Amino acid sequence: MALPRRLTGLVVFLVVLSSVPVSTAIVEEVEGSPEISIQAPDNRVAPGQEVTIPIYVTNDGIIREAGPTEYVERVITARALTAEVRSGSSPIRVNTGRIPAGNVPEGTVGPFEVSLTIPADARPGTYRLPVDVRYSYTRTVRYGSGTDDPEFRNYQRTRTRFIEITVRDRPRFEVVDVASNTRVGGVGPVAVTVENVGTEPASEATLRLRSADEELTFGRGSAEARAFSDAWQPGENRTFEFRARVASDAVRREYPVAATVSYTDVDGVQRASRELTAGIVPQAEVAFAVRNLSSDLYVGEPGTISGTVGNRGPVPVERAVLVYRSSSPHVAPVDGEVALGRLAPGDRRNFTFEVDVGDGASAGRRQLNLTVRYRDARGNPGTSDPLEPAVRLRPERDWLAVAPENATFDVDSDNRLTVRLRNVEDVALSDVRGRIEVTDPFSSASRTAYVPELGPGETATLAFEVTVSEDAVATQSSVSLNVTAERPDGETVRLDASVVPVTVTEEEGTDDSTLLGVGAVVAVVALVAGWWWLNRR
């Protein structure tokens, strides 16, 4: 009876179970992940460069369980991706930090710029640079009729990828030496030695120098100069000479110049090196000094400037010439150059300049503009700094002084006018000629006078005939005297229209009472004489 009871219980359980409703739920999944790689297609560089290369991020997403498109895109997208390129074991230095690339769906994004420094001593070859890639992603999306919202399972991932950088064989150049014989204020050679420190030869190479400072120029004043070289092997030095010019007012210091080598590589491609920098230091200029300066300059007449000029070093000069350039049209040298010849340090030479001083010049201190033009031991020309001593320009000289001696005459008389003429300067005068100019009531039949020579401080008397007309009246008047004389230098001294004062007086006369008195005296004398004659016997 036990078996039927158990069977009866099982049947009852099954009946009860079949009466309970059953819920059927379906849950599905999309599973996948991003697959990131880094590419650097433009990866050929040369030693001694700082370059920027582009990199690209590629995502080849992996789908393990497919499903709706939106969930597939979710699981293969790398979110908030960053990439950092490192040097690794290579000699290349990376100058760029972590790069934020953002969300990277399936495909490629970029380019992203990465700055690299390739050391000058980097060996040619291919180097692998590690790239640390960090991102987040969704590995699984669960969805279905049994869930209200999809379920995302998110993860963080860090992967290391690599890019390849190829340091290729190429000519590369460095300035190894600069030698200059150019002095401040001069022109001279500059030798620039450049070495091909690369691993390949260059051909048809041109070295270009460029100065950024106007105080240092090349040739006839250009900022650039070029020199050519043919085949140029690795490890080979080439020396190029240029003619440089340094301004006379330049400061003695190192002047930077930029050097660039343009060449043809072994593939026949024309290339240019990176810009090289070199320094040119001009040698100290030759210094000169003027001493013992004296001058004899007066307005309106020629004069002289004399002195000595010496070489203060540091080197001897050849074919030196002292040059005088005047800044005034009224004060000008007859010949503005005096040859000095060879001057060793400490040597001195005397000089004299003949100078014409015009009537328009102004008296006072005058600054001279002197320079020394010379050649150095190599024959290169040079010019000294300006030498600017000052001399005195004196006012125009008077030369002669006039004073009347006999200049008082009666009306209606012929007279001798005498004038005292004195040389007031310290230079002898010759061929002294005087001439008076007269107007009514004066006239003259002898208007000129002559003195052969009149020494410094000497006095001579000039005499002229002067007639005063009967119509003249007593008064103070004058005549005009013009004098010319010759200086020892052949120039003529003129004393124009000097006024000589003349006094005209009335002739002393007799009145009627005087005449009667004289007549009476004469009559008495006659009577007395007659009486004496008659009675003398």
Tens digits of per-residue pLDDT, 88-101?
Answer: 999 999 999 999 99
**Of residues 146 and 257, more confidently modeled:** 257
Helices (H), 162-295: none
If one counts every other C-beta atom within 10 angstroms of the C-beta of residue 42, the result is: 11
According to the per-residue pLDDT averaged within each range, which of 133-137, 146-150, 521-525 is highest? Answer: 133-137
Q: 497 CB contacts (<8 Å, ≥6 apart)?
A: 437, 480, 481, 482
> Is there a contact between 260 and 276 (Cβ–Cβ < 8 Å)?
yes
The pLDDT of residue 23 is above 50: no
Confidence of residue 508 (pLDDT cuts 50, 70, 90): low
Sheet containing 408-410: order of strands: 408-410, 492-505, 475-486, 429-437, 448-454
Q: Would you say residue 248 has pLDDT above 80?
A: no
Confidence of residue 21 (pLDDT cuts 50, 70, 90): very low
Across the chain, mean pLDDT equals 86
pLDDT at residue number 284 = 81
Structure-token pair, residue 338:
């005096």
CA distance 486 to 40: 98
Model pLDDT for residues 468-500, shown as the tens digit of each residue: 888 888 888 888 889 999 988 788 888 877 888
Task: Give how far Cα 89 sits from Cα of 97, 127, 165, 196, 301, Å.
Answer: 17, 8, 12, 27, 88
pLDDT tens-digit map of 335-347: 999 999 999 999 9
Quick check: bond before 119 cis, omega within 30? no
Q: What pLDDT is attached to residue 523? A: 57
C-alpha 72, offset from chain centre:
72
227, 243 in Cβ contact below 8 A?
no
What's the order of all strands across the beta sheet hosting 216-218?
A: 173-180, 187-196, 237-246, 216-218
Is the separation of the CB atoms in 180 and 205 below 8 Å?
A: no
Asked if residue 244 lies in contact with residue 216, where contact means CB atoms within 8 angstroms, the answer is yes
Q: What type of residue sits at position 111?
A: P
CA dihedral (317, 321, 325, 331) positive or negative: positive
Task: Give the integer Cα–Cα distance in Å for 333 and 426.
Answer: 24
Q: At residue 22, does pLDDT exceed 60?
A: no
Dist CA 433 CA 421 (whole Å): 11
Candidates 96, 97, 62, 98; CA nearest to 80 is 98
Give residue 20's pLDDT band: very low, low, confident or very high (50, 70, 90): very low
Residue 530: predicted pLDDT: 57
Q: How confident is the model at residue 519 (pLDDT cuts 50, 70, 90)?
A: low
Separation CA 536–CA 337 (nearest Å): 106
pLDDT band for 82, please (50, 70, 90 cuts): very high
Contact indicator for 282, 250 with CB cutoff of 8 Å:
yes
